[in-house]
Amino acid sequence: MKRILVCDDEPHIVEGLRHLLRDRDRLIEGARCGKEALARIAAACDRPEGPPDLLITDVMMPEMSGLDVVASLRSSDATKDLPIIILTAKGHAQDAAMAQEVWGATVVAKPFDPQRLRELVTAILENRLCPQVGSIS
Amino acid sequence: MSASRLYLVSPERVAEYVRAGPVRDAMAEIARLAGAELTPLPPHPDSVCDAPPESLNEIPIRYRQELRGRTIYRRDGGEAVERAARAVASLTEHLLDREEAVEDLAEAMITSYEELNMLYALLPRIVTTVHASDIGEAIVSEASRTLRCRRVSLLVLNEERTSFRVLASRGLPVSVRNISIPVRSSIAGSVLIHDDLLVVDNIDARPDLAELSVGTYEAPAFAVVRVPLRAQGEPLGILTATERQDGGEFTARDRKLLEGLSAVGASALLNCRLHAAVHRQMMNTIQALASAVDAKDHYTHDHSGRVAQLSVATARELGITDDATCREIEMAGLLHDIGKIGLADAILSKGGGLTAQEFAIVRTHVQIGASIVEHVEGLANVAKAILHHHERYDGLGYPGWLAGEAIPLASRLIATADAYDSLTSDRPYRAAVAPEAAIEELIRCKGTQFDPAVVEAFLAVVQRETRVLEPACV
């Protein structure tokens, strides 16, 4: 069973992604803010199952941005290699470059092509993804 | 007392003057003062007069050692008539001289005019190119046209100055277009050594040359003219024209035209060599800079060189044939990370563990690189390509958040080649990815990170190169 955590402050986006990515052997959970996502991951790390197999997070969220979530995850040994997809609008391109080139997250521009996102998620879960491309990484 | 007669058998060229006009009046006056009457006769009169030949005296009119006409008078006319006959003959000789001079001048003017005309036609074609072959083509076609020769060739010396090769030709058989002609034992070589124009109307009359001639290439069946090409004292080659369409021999005008052509051609060729040397030097400098960056960034050996080579190959795959554009892409590929020279080693060697502040610094390498290259004249496009090589096709890159075609093509090419080469090379924090996996990654990022058309062309290049590297299965 693969576990995906979707983090967005808009509940309908979480629901939409849950619907889009639904599959027989997938468990898709939602988090409404960055803090909740970190708390859920930390809790999972303490349990035998460990961290989820993939985090999909929005960037623009109140209190804690998606990038802060990624930065926090990368500073912990348990989650430094956790696959992450960041959904962002073009206005946040500068931060997206950081997420991709430094933190090895996969950056997807909004609005995204649902079919492509589904393929990307499958590729990540099947461990078919290359290390991220970038000048530093 | 009836006047004695003084006959003037006028030379062909000046017959007009002698029949009427001020010259004739002056001659008639000279005769009249001597008590004689001037009778001009056409160049080849049937008969001069009724008097028996033994009673007549003649003064020859010569010009350039040739008998052109004569004055005739009766011996019994006395000394005065004889002096008048000499004066008229001398005047006619001067007249001839002037005529010839005018004609020579006219010929010279026509030649100069043709020369000017030819240069006007030629110059725009050779000053706009830096390719020796284009210059050769222009010169050969112009020589063939103005000298009306079916066969023209332009030979250039190799660097060691030991042999010639055919740079451009008209009417040469294919079999001799690629031959090498030794300087030491060829007619062309002897022309170069003597540094003089050679005109041969019949090779059989010149056994010394026949002995030197290199097979069918150099043995002319017809009149041939060869002229050495020299610029600033440096020998460059030989221009040869032969097989005149009218089968005639070469005139002074032809030689002059050919010399003019060779002078223009030589300076254009020298120019082109200097240009190539400057370009080579610039590429060497750029190579050195690129290696400095590669060394600093802990990239594997020659990352920049491979990015440049792959980018240019991809550009060609996309149908870009313009040399200037390809050169810009190559330079941009070599220099794409030059801005990292300005970054602290501590940051570069950190790899994946950068803070947001450190990454903000790393990102500036595109602006630093562009501003370094911007200062070099003529590299504005290269600077632009460097500035945008971290843009993403979907607009999520930096520094301009440009998307799609708004990103310079060179930048899109470099972004793809850079990603591929990074993935397939070892990094301190991860091992190299197999080419197949890197290709899959490029395909996955087609349209988001990379230009789809560039990725398609890039894959064609990589697949072809892999095929070349791996021996074909039997």
Residue B215's pLDDT is what? 65
* Closest CA relative to residue B27, chosen from B93, B96, B84: B84
Query: Which chain A residues are closer than 8 Å to B396 by Cβ?
Result: 88, 90, 93, 96-97, 107, 109
Distance between CA atoms of residues B437 and A60, nearest Å? 32
Q: How far is A76 from chain B (nearest CA, A)?
A: 12
The answer to whether B359 contacts A136, with C-beta atoms less than 8 Å apart, is: yes
The predicted model gives B195-207 an average pLDDT of 75
pLDDT in tens, B18-53: 777 888 899 999 999 988 898 888 887 777 666 777
The predicted model gives B337-343 an average pLDDT of 88
The predicted model gives B48-76 an average pLDDT of 84
Q: How far is B359 from chain A (nearest CA, A)?
A: 6
Sign of the CA dihedral with B85 first, then B86, B87, and B89 last: positive
* Closest CA relative to residue A108, chosen from B399, B420, B445, B402: B445
The tokens describing B346, both together, are 């501590």
The answer to whether B437 contacts A130, with C-beta atoms less than 8 Å apart, is: yes
Q: Which of A67, A104, A129 is facing B352, going by the closest CB pair?
A: A104
Asked whether the beta carbons of B149 and B246 are under 8 A apart, the reply is no
Which strand ranges, in their side-by-side order, compose the sheet holding B224-231?
B180-182, B163-170, B149-157, B234-244, B224-231, B198-200
| Closest-approach residue (CA) in chain B for A95 | B356
Q: How far is A37 from chain B (nearest CA, A)?
A: 21
Q: How many CA atoms lie within 13 A of B468 on its CB side?
A: 6
Distance between CA atoms of residues B272 and B127, nearest Å? 9
Chain A with chain B: Cβ pairs closer than 8 A: 81
Higher-pLDDT residue of B457 and A104 is B457
Q: How far is B423 from chain A (nearest CA, A)?
A: 7
Q: Which of B362, B395, B422 is facing A109, going by the closest CB pair?
A: B395
The answer to whether A101 contacts B359, with C-beta atoms less than 8 Å apart, is: yes
Q: Write down the mean pLDDT value for chain B.
A: 85
Number of CB atoms found within 10 A of residue A78's CB = 14
Q: How many CA atoms lie within 13 A of B465 on its CB side?
A: 13
**Cα dihedral A35/A39/A40/A46 (nearest 10):** 160
Higher-pLDDT residue of B70 and B248 is B70
Residue B406's pLDDT is what? 95
Q: Write down the mean pLDDT value for chain A.
A: 86
Sign of the CA dihedral with B95 first, then B97, B98, and B102 last: positive
The tokens describing B367, both together, are 């602006």
Asked whether the beta carbons of A41 and A51 are under 8 A apart, the reply is yes
* Closest CA relative to residue B233, chosen from B210, B261, B263: B263
Q: How far is A44 from chain B (nearest CA, A)?
A: 24
Mutate: best of B386, B396, B422, B450, partner A, most A CBs <10 A:
B396
Distance between CA atoms of residues B100 and B342, nearest Å? 77
pLDDT in tens, B207-218: 777 666 666 666
- Taking any CB pair shorter than 8 Å as contact, residues of chain B touching chain A are 337, 350-354, 356, 359-360, 362-363, 365, 390, 392, 394-398, 401, 403, 418-419, 422-423, 427, 429-430, 433, 437-438, 440-441, 444-445, 448-449
Name the band, by pLDDT with cuts 50, 70 and 90, for residue B358: confident
**Residue B428 per-residue DSSP state:** T
The answer to whether B419 contacts A133, with C-beta atoms less than 8 Å apart, is: yes
Lowest-pLDDT choice from A96-105, B180-189, B212-221, B342-351: B212-221
Name the band, by pLDDT with cuts 50, 70 and 90, for residue B268: confident
Residue B454's pLDDT is what? 97
The predicted model gives B410-424 an average pLDDT of 94
The answer to whether A136 contacts B354, with C-beta atoms less than 8 Å apart, is: yes
The tokens describing A65, both together, are 């941005």
Distance between CA atoms of residues B172 and B177, nearest Å? 7
Number of CB atoms found within 10 A of residue B467's CB = 10
Q: Which of A119, A129, A136 is facing B351, going by the closest CB pair?
A: A136
Residue B416's pLDDT is what? 96
Name the band, by pLDDT with cuts 50, 70 and 90, for residue B460: very high
Q: How far is A78 from chain B (nearest CA, A)?
A: 15
Higher-pLDDT residue of A25 and B3 is A25
Distance between CA atoms of residues B360 and B354, nearest Å? 9
User: Contacts by B64-70 with C-beta closer than 8 Å and gap 24+?
Assistant: B64/B100, B68/B11, B68/B12, B68/B13, B68/B96, B69/B8, B69/B9, B69/B10, B69/B11, B69/B43, B70/B9
Residue B171's pLDDT is what? 86
Q: How far is B264 from chain A (nearest CA, A)?
A: 51
Residue A2's pLDDT is what? 92
| Closest-approach residue (CA) in chain A for B435 | A130
**Strand, helix or coil for residue B337:** coil
Lowest-pLDDT choice from A111-115, B69-73, B220-224, B446-450: B220-224
Q: Using the structure block, give the residue that is written with the tokens 């554009």.
A: B325
Q: How far is A98 from chain B (nearest CA, A)?
A: 6
Query: Which chain A residues are closer than 8 Å to B352 by Cβ?
Result: 102-104, 136-137
Express as a percent the part of chain B with pLDDT over 70: 92
Name the band, by pLDDT with cuts 50, 70 and 90, for residue B219: low
Query: Which chain A residues are closer than 8 Å to B444 by Cβ?
Result: 119-120, 123, 129
The predicted model gives B230-238 an average pLDDT of 85
Number of CB atoms found within 10 A of residue B446's CB = 19
| Closest-approach residue (CA) in chain A for B393 | A109
Please provide the distance, in angstroms rounded to a whole number, between the alpha carbons at the two ends of chain B: 120
Query: Which chain B residues are closer than 8 Å to A135 by Cβ?
Result: 337, 362, 365, 390, 418, 422
The answer to whether B449 contacts A130, with C-beta atoms less than 8 Å apart, is: no
Name the band, by pLDDT with cuts 50, 70 and 90, for residue B243: confident
pLDDT in tens, B293-311: 888 766 567 899 999 999 9
Q: Which of B337, B397, B445 is facing A93, going by the closest CB pair?
A: B397
Residue A56 neighbours by CB under 8 Å, 6+ apart:
A4, A5, A6, A7, A17, A84, A85, A87, A121
Residue B473's pLDDT is what? 44
Residue B469's pLDDT is what? 55
pLDDT in tens, A26-77: 999 999 999 999 999 999 999 998 999 999 999 988 889 898 899 899 888 8
Which pTM value belongs to this model? 0.65
Residue B361 neighbours by CB under 8 Å, 6+ apart:
B343, B344, B347
The answer to whether A94 contacts B398, with C-beta atoms less than 8 Å apart, is: yes
User: What is the Cα A132 distance to its own chain's centre?
Assistant: 14
Identity (one letter) of the amino acid at A95? D
Q: Quote ipTM for the complex.
A: 0.77
Q: How many CA atoms lie within 13 A of B38 on its CB side?
A: 27
Q: Which of B396, B427, B437 is facing A107, going by the closest CB pair?
A: B396
Whether the pLDDT of residue B471 is over 80: the answer is no
Name the band, by pLDDT with cuts 50, 70 and 90, for residue B85: very high
Express as a percent the part of chain B with pLDDT over 90: 26
- Taking any CB pair shorter than 8 Å as contact, residues of chain A touching chain B are 67, 71, 88, 90, 93-94, 96-98, 101-104, 107-109, 116, 119-120, 123, 128-131, 133-137
